[in-house]
Structure 1
Amino acid sequence: PAETPEGQACGLVKNLALMCYITVGSPSDPIIDFMVQRNMDVLEEYEPLNFPNATKIFVNGVWVGVHREPAHLVSNVQALRRNGLISHEVSLIRDVRDREFKIFTDAGRVCRPLFVIDNDPKSSNYGNLVLTKEMVQTLEDDRDMLAAMEPEERERAEMGWKRLVKGGVVEYVDAEEEETIM
């Protein structure tokens, strides 16, 4: 049971949902290196008069460079996250109006899980959940297999919920990314 405070403490108590995740942080250097390889102009070498409409790239609040094709860059980094090549706790925020792309890899952000919808117009599953009936059946099979495993072995197994996150079916999204996700 959740208690609701009255009086002075009213509005100060927040409850954390069961599936929420607090980020533990991951290194930002590999992401910066990836973007430099993908034509990001490093801030020290950027000439504003040549590309006045370039999108600013921030990593953990630090302005690291600019990019001339932000839509392509954002979709590439998002695909890396969905394919498990970068950590699922990396947050990607594209602010079109301010021409900014912010990436957060720091610790302490509260994230919640959301199911991914296929937004590839070429896909036959366009506009639908990436989660399929076969995946749900696999989850049920995983549950039976996990029940038979030892606790240490169960912790290492890439099954169940971990499989959905690693497979890009579920994304963990923080509050700032949630505002720009659509």
Structure 2
Amino acid sequence: FVQLVKEMKIYLHKCVESGRDFNITLAIKTNILTAGLRYCLATGNWGDQKKASSAKAGVSQVLNRYTYASTLSHLRRTNTPIGRDGKIAKPRQLHNTHWGLVCPAETPEGQACGLVKNLSLMCYVSVGTPGEPLTDFMRQRGMDLLEEYDPVLEPKSTKVFINGTWVGVHKSAGQLTETLRSLRRKGLLSFEVTIIRDVREREIRVFTDAGRVCRPLFVVDNKPDSADRGSLVLKQDQVAKLHTDQEAAASLQGISEEDKAAHTYGWMGL
């Protein structure tokens, strides 16, 4: 791109000196960008071809297609960008925050041991959803926007963050958190939305952006007046009903969605 701008400057300078009209089609040489991208994708060295020593290596790779399992393993691989000859053990070990996210067993032998890791089987990377609808929803549920907030009048309000941005404050943080979690469990919010209530810091942090590494969790019944407090909300008979729905799916073909929902338990029943 820098070379493309330089060529345009040279052409513009010539046009000014000779008094010719500036023609954008002649100024832009399309093969400069094409050749640069082609070189980067072919070699994996991301950067200028003339400065190959300072370019990043391994950015583009040939996808492994030997078997289906090897393809999945290649797509879920992570790499620590440090030298393979280092004797420091810490970068090769798993951190406490990797629990449930990084596989503790799958890593290559030899110099790359521990530096090349893989995501766990149930781990996934979030795709992301817009955060503006959540801001509007919470404003309708009593959230004061940051422009309207007066810390003198409401010193004990809870801050609300969406994707790291402070959007407002709320007086009843517990009720707002339970409302958001119930909407997520009903499927009205995306299952990728992360809702965190920090009681000590008086903050509610909501994340909807892409690129977050997530893992599935079981929901525990923590209602004070519940008879099953401390046990999982998902029961064995509910899983059995879902299996029954799968077995009866062939006999319910050809009927409307309303009739099908009336005869099956379904995910909405959960």
TM range (shorter): 0.7 to 0.9
Q: Could you say which residue in structure 1 is the equivalent of 2:137? A: 34
**Conserved? CA contact 1:23–1:89, under 8 Å:** yes
Cα gap change, 1:144/1:12 in structure 2, threshold over 3 Å: closer, same or farther?
farther
Residue deviations 1:74-103 (CA, integer Å, cap 9, x gap):
111111111211111100111122111110
For 1:146 and 1:12, the matched residues in 2 are separated by 46
Cα gap change, 1:127/1:11 in structure 2, threshold over 3 Å: closer, same or farther?
same
Aligned residues: 156
Helix, strand or coil for the counterpart of 1:79? helix
Give the superposition deviation at 1:140. Answer: 2.5
Residue deviations 1:17-51 (CA, integer Å, cap 9, x gap):
22222211111112111111111110011111111
Q: Could you say which residue in structure 1 is the equivalent of 2:35? A: none
1:69 aligns with 2:172: yes
The letter of the residue matching 1:39 is G
Q: Could you say which residue in structure 1 is the equivalent of 2:23? A: none
For 2:231 and 2:242, the matched residues in 1 are separated by 19
Give the superposition deviation at 1:143. Answer: 4.4
Q: Could you say which residue in structure 2 is the equivalent of 1:122? A: 225
Cα gap change, 1:15/1:130 in structure 2, threshold over 3 Å: closer, same or farther?
same
Residue deviations 1:130-168 (CA, integer Å, cap 9, x gap):
11122121232244356999xxxxxxxx9xxx93xx666
Q: Could you say which residue in structure 1 is the equivalent of 2:91? A: none
For 2:142 and 2:183, the matched residues in 1 are separated by 17
Q: Which has more strand, going by share of residues?
A: 1
For 2:107 and 2:172, the matched residues in 1 are separated by 49
Cα gap change, 1:141/1:4 in structure 2, threshold over 3 Å: closer, same or farther?
same
Aligned-residue Cα RMSD (Å) equals: 2.8
Compare relative contact order (CA 8 Å, sep 6+) and give the higher one, 1 or 2: 1
Listed as ranges, the gaps of 5+ residues in structure 1 are: 150-157, 169-182
Fraction of identical pairs, as percent = 53
Q: Which has more helix, going by share of residues?
A: 2
1:133 aligns with 2:244: no
Helix, strand or coil for the counterpart of 1:114? coil
- The 4+ residue runs of structure 1 with deviation greater than 4 A are 145-149
Helix, strand or coil for the counterpart of 2:243? helix
Q: Output aligned runs, 1:3-18, within 5 Å.
A: 3-7=107-111, 9-18=112-121
**Conserved? CA contact 2:107–2:117, under 8 Å:** no
Residue deviations 1:85-127 (CA, integer Å, cap 9, x gap):
1111100111122111110001111111111111122223222
Listed as ranges, the gaps of 5+ residues in structure 2 are: 1-104, 253-260
**Conserved? CA contact 2:160–2:203, under 8 Å:** yes
- Name which of structure 1's ranges 134-143 and 80-89 shifts more when overlaid on structure 2: 134-143
Correspondence for 1:19 among 117, 122, 127? 122
Give the superposition deviation at 1:71. Answer: 1.3
For 2:213 and 2:244, the matched residues in 1 are separated by 30
TM-score by length of 1: 0.74
Q: Output aligned runs, 1:72-151, within 5 Å.
A: 72-144=175-247
Helix, strand or coil for the counterpart of 1:14? strand
